[in-house]
Amino acid sequence: MAAASHSNVTHISPQRPRTQRSHWLARLLLAKPLNYFQWRLALLIPHVNLGYLRPLDPLRILLQIIWLLLVIPPAYRRPPFLQRMQRATGKANAWLLCHLSRYRLLHQTNNHQQLLQRVEQLAVHPFWRLAPVRFTLYAVASILILFIVTTPMSTLPQALFVLLLWGMAMIIGQFKGNLANLLLILLSAIASTRYLWWRAINTLNWDNMINLTLGIGLLAAEIYIWLVLILAFIQIAWPLRRPSAPLPDDKTLWPAVDVFIPTYNEPMKIVRPTVLATMNMDWPEDKLNIYLLDDGRRQEFKTFAEEVGIHYMARPDNRHAKAGNLNYALERTQSELITIFDCDHIPTRSFLQTNVGWFLKDPKLALLQTPHLFYSPDPFERNLDNFRRTPNENELFYGVIQEGNDFWNAAFFCGSCALLRRGPLEEIGGVATETLTEDAHTALRLHREGYNSAYLNIPQAAGLAPESLSAYVGQRIRWARGMIQILRIDNPLFGKGLSLGQRLCYFTAMLYFLTGIPRLVFLTAPLAFLILHVYIIHAPAQMILLYVLPHLLHSNLTNARLQGKYRYSFWAEVYESVLAWYIARATIVALFAPHKGSFNVTAKGGLIEQQHFDWEIARPSLVLTGLNVIGLLFGIWRLIENPANETAIVMLNIGWTFYNLVILGVTLSVATETRQTRNSHRIPARLPALLQLEDGRVLEAETLDLSEGGVALHLDVPADGLLNQKIEISIGKTPTILRCSARIVRSHEHQIGLLFDPLTLEDEARLIECIYGRADAWKDWVTDRPRDRPLRAMLDVLRTGLTGFHRVSYVLLRRMVSVYTQGHKFLSWVYSLLPRTPNHLQSRVDPP
């Protein structure tokens, strides 16, 4: 375990003793050539002192040589040294350089970004279409990477390799573009694969069964994480970023569209805005058919549908839940395209005009999916008070992963905010009903039949997120179970019809939901050493650091680069830790019994009247926190009692445990449900408005936010004396979107808050358009958020974790006081039942 000592080092003086004989022959033959070579090298590498090399000079020399081979400096164009080097490579090198020069790929430039752009042109050049060239280079690169990954190194060479790899990543990170992303992915894959190879070959203790068993368990969890990492890199390495396709000017060529709005037990206040917004969509009226699919068979909904003039459908049973509801409508409608909106997803006016063009452009297109954007905070965002400041869990999928899927023609159907072509959907028998994730399974079947899919990353609809953590967890359990059901029933790795890229994209999505058990392993792994003194990684601490740090740093750096503003560092661990226990149970059941499980509708639009701690949902986190606290105490004890040669490994496990406690602290903070008492959420919007006051004055204003109940405005003049006035408000100019009456219920300096008077159906539809239906309503929803900065994200997670422990301490203290109070009352009641000696007997005096 202990590192070898380097203190006994013999230092050789650079001065030659006078008595030593000089090697005159060597000096005669080598001195001048060596001096000449050093002089020429100094010209080529002017920023390196060859007589006194610094730690990073080997990296500088390597990068300079690569730069000289690709870029010919203007002041030193084709020096004889380079000419001789090029001639020495033979005819193959000359042929390659000739072709590169012919295609104008090697140009003189001092602009690094311009250089990267030219290399990107090389990466996509038709030259790579030559199969022999492509596969030869792939084979050479694979052999080189295999050599790098499997070469064993001692401490110092491994440390230098780590510095080299990190220096290259820092330099590449300064450039933009997909090629730089691919190079960072390559470096991360090398670091992670090298770590995993070292773990498998050098760190398992085969002499101790307990060490070996627990060590293999941790290694299996790490192999799973490595596999997900590599597959995810392949999935998102080159996002497609598809633009919108224009529609023809002749509207008679536009296809007819059926809009399906399935509902089951949602209240009218949630469904009503969605229906009104779909009616406002810009599409020829004779080619737009809206259907309210009510599986609750409610008279109120039927009356509403008749009032607004849309179709109402209610089937006699609820077989196959949402999928069965959609298939029932599919059999009774006939338009070429079908648009599906969950009853809480409200589309913009431009939804169809933005998306339908691709169906006219690609006759084989069967599915087009758009992002799911949520205008209300989910439990993480509300309970942690970081709504729109920290990306939620969904944003990574819709901002990054679906863009990568689209490159591989593997965009998933997500159940809402999507368009499907009727013919292909009917060809596969309608929406899939065999699993709980009918949307992804339907997309898989369409791809198996050879149809195309598309993803357009332009938010054109928004919906409600689950309010409570229990509802959120229930939704994720259903997703996890459904994806594993597909893995068992219709495994994408097998069967006909899918390309390799499609198979990998689907398999990666399903593999992700198996993260529960590996996450539980990582949250408890250091306890094996701290509590049981079991070496699950049988290696010196310094070697563990030299192998695991590159793996962690490069993967975080690369993910931060690829995921940008859609996922911040360390938050993936938070989401996985909250769900780990629940997803682990659901996926194990689905693996062994794929046909078990029933569809559950996620509750939305509810209220949380009082802040409270969800003890039921937080129970796994509380248990894990308790175990890690015990492990931390054992670690402190081992620092005091264990031999000095174990100090480093004890500190390493204490650091791991502390990190786990920080993550668990965040999960406990999420379990503290904060109040949610709004019947309608405020949506930020900057729109011009005019106010006509009771005295006839007209004031110009700008909206700050809008809701279905009122609006907040900023006035150019102070709002003195306006409170409780009844006014007329007009929102929007040329044209006016909404004109209605309202009352001023709040005023402060230049800001006022209005409460709308009861609206007519027409005014309500205009208000819905004003809040949700504008084409640019969600354009800037995430664009203003900064990109991921890992250090800042780490500090944010640390602060949130400490906040979680503070919240739990406060809740536990209150519970302890409550238990003490109740216990005191109970003991007092028990004491009151005990028999007692009467007072007159206590002072009794015997009679004379």
Q: Which residues have a catalytic role annotated? A: 295, 439
Nearest CA to 541 out of 658, 663, 660, 656 is that of 656
By the 8 A CB rule, do 270 and 343 touch?
Answer: yes
Q: Please state, in angstroms and as integers, the Cα–Cα distance from residue 12 to each residue in 16, 17, 476, following that order.
A: 10, 12, 66
Residues 6+ apart with CB under 8 A from 693: 699, 722, 725, 727
Distance CA 434, CA 324 (A): 11
Burial class (CB in 10 A: 0-12, 13-18, 19+), 108: exposed
Is the preceding omega at residue 459 within 30 degrees of 0, hence cis?
no
Distance CA 455, CA 503 (A): 17
Residues 6+ apart with CB under 8 A from 435: 441, 482, 485, 486, 489, 594
Residue 261, beta-bridge partner list = 292
Nearest CA to 443 out of 469, 473, 410, 408 is that of 410
Both structure tokens of 430: 């309608």
Compute and round to an integer the Cα radius of gyration of the chain: 34
Nearest CA to 617 out of 663, 573, 579, 647 is that of 579
Both structure tokens of 832: 């009151």
By the 8 A CB rule, do 341 and 259 touch?
Answer: yes
Please say whether the dihedral angle defined by the alpha carbons of residues 633, 523, 566 and 680, taken in this order, is positive or negative: negative
By the 8 A CB rule, do 531 and 634 touch?
Answer: yes
Spell out the alpha helix ranges (H) of 103-208.
Answer: 112-123, 131-150, 155-172, 178-202
Q: Phi and psi at residue 221, in whole multiples of 5°?
A: -65, -40
Beta carbons within 10 angstroms of residue 17's beta carbon:
6
Spell out the alpha helix ranges (H) of 256-350.
Answer: 268-279, 299-308, 321-330
User: By three-state DSSP, how is residue 761 classified?
Assistant: helix
Distance CA 756, CA 767 (A): 10
Distance CA 440, CA 508 (A): 13
Distance CA 498, CA 492 (A): 8
Q: Which amino acid is at 56?
A: L
Residues 6+ apart with CB under 8 A from 278: 259, 261, 290, 341, 347
Nearest CA to 517 out of 205, 199, 204, 222 is that of 222
Distance CA 297, CA 588 (A): 36
Q: Which residue has the tokens 């990267």?
A: 116
H or E stretch covering 745 = strand 738-748
- The CA angle 528-529-531, to the nearest 5 degrees, is 70
Complete DSSP assignment for 220-282: HHHHHHHHHHHHHHHHHSS---PPPPPPPS-GGGSPPEEEEEEESS--HHHHHHHHHHHHTSS
